[in-house]
A = this chain, B = another copy of it.
Amino acid sequence: MSPCMSRRGECWLKAERHNRYRLIEFGGGREEMTYCVGIVLQDGLVMLADTRTSAGLDDIATFRKLHVFEQPGERLFALATAGNLAFTQSVVGVLREGLEGENGLEKLVDQPTMFRAAQFVGRVIRHVYSTDGIALEQTGASLDVSMLFGGQVKGRQLRLYMMYKAGNFIEATSDTPFLQIGEHKYGKPILDRAVTFKTELYEGLKLALISMDSTMRSNLGVGMPLDFVVLRRDGMEWEQNTRIEPGEPYFHDLRERWSAALRRAHIDIPRPPYGPKS
Contacts and interface: CB of A to CB of B under 8 A. Distances in A.
Contacts of A158: none
A190 B269 contact: no
Interface stretch (A71-79, A91-99, A167-175, A258-266): A258-266
A203 B266 CA distance: 9
Interface in A224-278: 230, 239-240, 242, 250, 253-254, 257-259, 261-266, 268-276
A14 interface: yes
Q: Name the residue among A8, A217, A271 with the largest chain B CB count within 10 angstroms.
A: A8
A268 B201 CA distance: 16
A162 to B, nearest CB: 14
Interface stretch (A58-66, A113-121, A137-145): A137-145
Q: Name the residue among A11, A192, A239 with the largest chain B CB count within 10 angstroms.
A: A11
A108 to B, nearest CB: 26
Interface of A: 1-12, 14-16, 18-19, 137-138, 140, 142-144, 185-186, 188-190, 192-194, 201-203, 205-207, 209-210, 214, 217-218, 230, 239-240, 242, 250, 253-254, 257-259, 261-266, 268-276
